């Protein structure tokens, strides 16, 4: 693997007595899209700002293309950046906004005259070059902000919640455009901050899940979804059911093991994050459960049976809350099947490969 | 619902009351001044023998020169005060809170002191070598700068407080060095506040009398000093005419500044 384009080593950031980042390590390779995902206050924006140079680490180092830039000012880092409120200069026209970074780099008039239309065209804003930002919609402003960041041809593009000010349909459209842009500039690394897991899954090659100033989990969207390394990742990423379970004695080896959940024995998958024996959490996604034919349980059918507490129709799916003893499970059934009624018995079957065991911590 | 709510009738009464107060406090003195500037005689309730002679006089001779002195002093003092006030506010904004409090105090002290006292203080300070400014035009301008810089500082500070940090950060991330961020981003975004400061400073300078009268050189009589001198000699109508022309000049300058203000 090539050297990382961005390398963060042991970075901590303190604001007075508050520690916003604790000893964070992060590498981003050339062409990679790394998404920093987390709730407000998790440290994701602080980490991005430390990479951008707006926040200086209290400890640790930041490297760009192998160069130590820990104390370098933002203008010496050569990064492109787009923020949530776009921050287009309101007193400049669209073309002047896009030209700003090139002028700052003392590029020739000719180069500026060629580059600005090129990037405005790339984001579909050629017709708006002479407008002021206030004359544009939110989505248009976002496109201009991206063109402005790309015009300096950065190796790294930092995006801080760039779509959060847009409504849902426009957000989906812009996500597609961002994917398309990256396909056009495949060598460019992107670090994308968001609290929205849909954006993270859509865009990220790798998701870095942050919590309390630390990296709680990282991996590809699929690996985090299918095999979350810990309870927080499972809960945050995809709202998994986490059911108290006990690994059956004698099942200490092998990928598939039998576990007891609410006095019912089912099979589940052991991963690197699973305990060897004893108590564990059975992690299973609501959409990986399906209503089983018949009411019984056990055997090779891998079933859990219980009683329906509530049903909420959501259009494409219906969210069923099922009670099994003291345990409550969320189930997403297709919206076009007959809904069970509260109080009905219901058996759920699932593929043991889709249910993983986690440490109960 | 929170807040006060009034019936339509009550609102009309309140509006009428507010209108009468404004008219009484601001409008009536202005009207009297205007009438005095065209009065030939004023023995009754209203003036008689109306004439434009005083206004013509205000635009000629020493009066015209005094107006020019006021305009020049106002423009120069406003420019210096803007540079100094904006520079102070920009320089202090990233300083520790303790330093900012000191800078605030230094810039705002002239507001708390009567202008005549400031005039006296400057007179004492600059009337002997090596800082001998007494009797110079620069001294008048310097005095006005001292008096109005606080307003430039306050306006610039308020503008900076309202300026989202993202603009400057973004300019920096695009590769702009600090001086380019200041010239191309910060100052243009501060422009409305700087223009408001300029308008206020210019208006204050145009009307300044207390400190100026302590230290003006005979060859640099400003319009307020001229008004004072005329009325002191009993030439009330001439003084009123100079006041009206001074008011018109100030108003025209403020209009010009307002036209430069970026529209939202």
CATH number for the domain formed by residue range(s) B52-260: 1.10.3720.10
Q: Is the pLDDT of residue B144 over 70?
A: yes
Residues of chain A with C-beta less than 8 angstroms from the C-beta of B170: 81, 83, 87, 89
Closest CA to A324 of A338, A339, A304: A304
Contact A104 B176 (CB under 8 A): yes
Structure tokens at A196: 């929205």
The interface pTM score, or ipTM, of the predicted complex is 0.76
Structure tokens at A272: 């690197």
Burial class (CB in 10 A: 0-12, 13-18, 19+), A102: buried
Structure tokens at B155: 């306006």
> For residue A220, how many other CB atoms are within 10 A of its CB?
13
pLDDT at site A253: 65
Tell which A residues from 108 to 127 touch B, by Cβ distance under 8 Å. Answer: none
Question: Span B42-66, mean pLDDT?
Answer: 87
H or E stretch covering A199: helix A197-203
Q: Which fold has domain A1-79+156-226?
A: Rossmann fold (3.40.50)
Residue ranges per domain, chain A? 1-79+156-226, 91-153, 231-358
Contact B262 A100 (CB under 8 A): no
CA of A69 vs chain B CAs: smallest distance (Å): 13
Domain spanning A231-358: CATH superfamily: Nucleic acid-binding proteins (2.40.50.140)
Structure tokens at A346: 């219901």
Q: Is the pLDDT of residue B264 over 70?
A: no
Residue ranges per domain, chain B? 1-37, 52-260
CA of B177 vs chain A CAs: smallest distance (Å): 6
SS3 A287: helix
Q: How far apart are CA A288 and CA A330, in angstroms?
A: 10
- Each residue's pLDDT, cut to its tens digit, for chain A (361 residues) gives 467 899 999 999 999 889 999 999 999 999 999 999 999 999 999 999 999 999 999 999 999 999 999 999 998 888 989 998 889 999 999 999 999 999 999 999 999 999 999 999 988 899 999 999 999 998 899 889 999 998 988 889 999 998 887 788 878 888 888 888 888 888 899 999 999 988 999 899 999 999 999 999 999 999 988 888 998 988 888 778 999 998 888 765 678 888 888 888 999 998 888 887 888 899 999 999 988 765 544 445 788 999 999 999 888 889 999 998 888 999 998 888 888 889 889 998 999 999 999 987 7
Locate the chain A residue with the closest alpha carbon to B192.
A91
Alpha helices in A152-191, H assignment, sequence order: 168-184
Q: How far apart are CA B138 and CA B219, in angstroms?
A: 12
Q: Is the four-CA dihedral A346, A350, A352, A355 of positive or negative sign?
A: negative
Contact A104 B170 (CB under 8 A): no
Predicted TM-score (pTM) of this structure: 0.78
Give pLDDT tens digits for B205-247.
Answer: 999 999 999 889 999 999 999 999 999 998 999 999 999 999 9
Which residues face A63 on adjacent strands?
A7, A68
């Amino acid at each position: 693997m090539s050297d990382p384009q961005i390398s963060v080593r042991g970075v901590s950031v303190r604001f007075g007595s508050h520690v916003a980042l604790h000893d964070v390590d992060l590498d981003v390779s050339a062409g990679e899209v790394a998404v920093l995902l987390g709730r407000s206050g998790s440290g994701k924006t602080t980490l991005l700002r430390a990479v951008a140079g707006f926040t200086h680490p209290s400890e640790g180092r930041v490297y760009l293309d192998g160069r130590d830039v820990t104390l370098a000012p933002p203008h010496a880092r050569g990064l492109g950046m787009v923020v949530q409120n776009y921050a287009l200069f309101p007193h400049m026209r669209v073309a002047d906004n896009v030209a700003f970074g090139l002028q700052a780099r003392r590029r020739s008039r000719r180069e500026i005259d060629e580059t600005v239309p090129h990037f405005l065209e790339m984001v579909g804003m050629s017709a708006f070059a002479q407008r002021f930002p206030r004359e544009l919609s939110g989505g248009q402003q976002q496109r201009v902000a991206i063109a402005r960041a790309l015009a300096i041809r950065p190796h790294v593009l930092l995006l801080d919640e760039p779509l959060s000010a847009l409504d849902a349909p426009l957000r989906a459209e812009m996500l597609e455009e961002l994917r398309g842009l990256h396909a056009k500039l495949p060598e460019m690394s992107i670090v994308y901050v968001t609290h929205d897991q849909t954006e993270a899954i859509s865009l990220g090659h790798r998701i870095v899940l942050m919590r309390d100033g630390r990296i709680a989990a990282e991996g590809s969207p699929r690996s985090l979804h299918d095999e979350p390394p810990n309870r927080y990742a499972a809960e945050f990423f995809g709202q998994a059911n986490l059911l108290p379970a006990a690994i059956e004695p004698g099942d200490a080896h092998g990928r598939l093991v039998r576990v007891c959940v609410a006095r019912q024995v089912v099979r589940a998958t052991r991963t690197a994050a699973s305990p060897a024996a004893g108590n564990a959490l059975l992690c299973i996604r609501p959409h990986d459960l399906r209503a089983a034919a018949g009411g019984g349980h056990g055997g090779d059918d891998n079933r859990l049976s219980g009683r329906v507490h509530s049903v909420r129709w959501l259009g494409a799916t219906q969210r069923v809350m099922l009670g099994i003893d003291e345990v409550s499970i969320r189930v997403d059934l297709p919206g076009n099947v007959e809904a069970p009624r509260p109080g009905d018995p219901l058996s759920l079957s699932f593929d043991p490969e889709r249910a993983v065991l986690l440490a109960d911590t | 619902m929170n807040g006060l709510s009034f019936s339509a009738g009550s609102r009309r009464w309140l509006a009428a009351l507010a209108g009468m107060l404004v008219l009484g406090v601001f409008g009536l003195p202005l009207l009297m001044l205007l009438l005095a500037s065209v009065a030939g005689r004023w023995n009754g309730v209203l003036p008689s023998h109306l004439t434009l002679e005083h206004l013509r006089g205000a635009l000629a001779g020493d009066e015209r020169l005094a107006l020019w002195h006021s305009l020049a002093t106002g423009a120069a003092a406003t420019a210096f005060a803007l540079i100094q006030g904006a520079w102070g506010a920009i320089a202090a904004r990233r300083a520790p809170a303790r330093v900012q409090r000191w800078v605030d105090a230094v810039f705002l002290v002239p507001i708390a002191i009567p202008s005549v006292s400031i005039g006296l203080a400057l007179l004492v300070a600059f009337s002997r070598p090596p800082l001998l400014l007494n009797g110079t035009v620069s001294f008048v301008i310097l005095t006005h700068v001292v008096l109005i810089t606080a307003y430039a500082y306050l306006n610039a500070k308020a503008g900076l407080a309202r300026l989202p940090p993202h603009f400057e950060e973004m300019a920096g991330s695009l590769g702009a060095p600090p001086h380019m961020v200041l010239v191309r981003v910060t100052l243009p975004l501060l422009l409305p506040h700087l223009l408001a400061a300029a308008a206020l400073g210019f208006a204050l300078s145009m009307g300044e009398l207390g400190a100026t009268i302590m230290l003006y050189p005979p060859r640099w009589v400003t319009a307020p000093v001229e008004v004072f001198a005329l009325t002191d000699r009993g030439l009330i109508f001439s003084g009123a005419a100079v006041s009206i022309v001074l008011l018109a000049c100030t108003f025209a300058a403020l209009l010009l500044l307002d036209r430069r203000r970026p529209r939202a």
